[in-house]
Amino acid sequence: MTDSAPDPAPGTILITGAGSGIGKLTAQAFLGAGWRVGLMGRRAETLKDCADGHPEALVLPGDVTDPDAAESAIAAMAERWGRIDVLFNNAGLFLPAATIDEISVADWQRLARPNIDGMFLMARAAFAQMRRQTPQGGRIINNGSISAHVPRWGSAPYTMSKHAVTGLTKALSLDGRAFGIACGQIDVGNALTDMVTAMTQGVPQADGHRAPEPVMDARHVADAVLHMAGLPLSANVQFMTVMATAMPFIGRG
């Protein structure tokens, strides 16, 4: 959304990884709040399930690691609604815990493509659209992680990728100033989705033992992104941490 836009109603947002987990919950939250939402992901059926026939949902099957798919998704948003106000750069994955010497090059590349390349490609395409549209500007919200601050045991690839996301957030925040483009980052800890269910059973801790960890309802993440996206461009949440209150973050390691 832009300060100069005459319509104060919610705007347009593209959400990557919208077919499941945090992406799906966030897409549903934005649709419920009256936003026009583009849903991007690799599986068309899961995106259609999330959209559930909503008239303001635009299903955009595509792989964020494909430069053409990234640009096509942004172009489809602009064609449908004239502009893109927000990108929630959410898609990513992580690997099973292991020390770096136990991680294959192929697995590293499989993680780096969405977590680094995909983040870059989607931000690049959105930035270009936001720069040329009228009114100029928009907002990019990157999904970081607690691991953008401190690592878990055995998480070298994921931790490295999320530190890269923080660098991207800072660089876009600086480069976007001249064009009214804000960039912020949400760092999530132990939001209960299918990807983190194992944390309730027991995961490796810094001292080597395994222990279950507290989790939180992932809908709190969607609510936080909705708040960040709804701010005028004169205000920005640069970094927000949303986490299960008692999880091992403060004092991790």
Residues recognised as catalytic: 158
- Dist. CA 243–CA 241, nearest whole Å: 6
**Cα dist from 11 to 1, 17, 104, 184, whole Å:** 6, 20, 43, 17
**Chain centroid to CA 235:** 19
Helix H or strand E segment including 22: helix 21-32
* Buried b / exposed e along 120-129 (16+ C-beta atoms within 10 A): bbbbebbbeb
101: alpha, beta or left? (left if phi > 0; alpha if psi -120 to 50): alpha
The partner residues of 185 in beta bridges, in order of sequence, read: 142, 239
**Cα dist from 218 to 82, 134, 221, whole Å:** 31, 34, 5
Instruction: Kindly provide the residue ranges of all beta strands, DSSP E only, lying in 17-137, ordered along the sequence.
Output: 36-41, 57-61, 86-89
Look up residue 32 and give its two tokens. Answer: 């419920």
Cβ atoms within 10 Å of 249's Cβ, excluding its own: 18
